[in-house]
Copies of this chain bind each other. A is one copy, B any other.
Amino acid sequence: MSNSNDYVPPKVWSHDVESGGAWAKINRPTAGATHSKELPKGENPLQLYSLATPNGVKVTILLEELLELGVAEAEYDAYLINIGEGDQFASGFVAINPNSKIPALVDQSVGPAISIFESGAILMYLAEKFNAFLPKDIATKTQCLSWLFWQMGSAPYLGGGFGHFYSYAPVKIQYCIDRFSMETKRQMDVLDQHLQNNTYFCGDEYTVADMAIWPWYGSLVLGNLYDAGTFLDVASYKNLVRWAKEIEKRPAVQRGRMVNRTWGELSEQLHERHSAEDFNNKTQDKI
Name A's B-contacting residues (CB within 8 A).
1-5, 7-13, 15-16, 19-20, 27-32, 98-100, 110, 112, 114, 116-121, 124-125, 138-139, 142, 145-146, 148-150, 152-157, 160-161, 164, 166, 169, 171-179, 181-183, 185-187, 189-190, 192-194, 230-233
23 A-B contacts (beta carbon < 8 Å) = A1-B175, A2-B174, A9-B166, A12-B233, A13-B177, A13-B233, A20-B178, A27-B186, A28-B186, A29-B182, A29-B183, A31-B189, A98-B190, A98-B193, A114-B139, A116-B142, A120-B152, A121-B149, A121-B150, A149-B149, A173-B175, A173-B176, A176-B176
Partner pick for A178 among B19, B157, B173, B193, CB 8 A cutoff: B19
What is the CA–CA distance of A2 and B99 in the complex, to the nearest angstrom? 35
> Would B98 and A121 count as touching, CB distance under 8 A?
no
Residues on B with beta carbons closer than 8 Å to the beta carbon of A194: 98
> Would A3 and B4 count as touching, CB distance under 8 A?
yes
Partner pick for A150 among B2, B13, B30, B117, CB 8 A cutoff: B117
Determine which residue in A1, A11, A142, A192 has the highest number of CB atoms from chain B within 10 A of its CB, and name it. A142
Smallest CB–CB gap between A172 and chain B, Å?
A: 5
Smallest CB–CB gap between A202 and chain B, Å?
A: 12
Q: A13-B177, A31-B192 are in contact. List 15 more A-B contacts (CB 8 A).
A: A13-B232, A27-B182, A29-B182, A31-B189, A31-B193, A32-B189, A112-B139, A114-B139, A114-B142, A117-B150, A121-B149, A121-B150, A153-B156, A156-B157, A161-B161
Determine which residue in A12, A121, A155, A192 has the highest number of CB atoms from chain B within 10 A of its CB, and name it. A121
Smallest CB–CB gap between A36 and chain B, Å?
A: 16
Smallest CB–CB gap between A176 and chain B, Å?
A: 6
> Would A9 and B177 count as touching, CB distance under 8 A?
yes
What is the CA–CA distance of A117 and B8 in the complex, to the nearest angstrom? 38
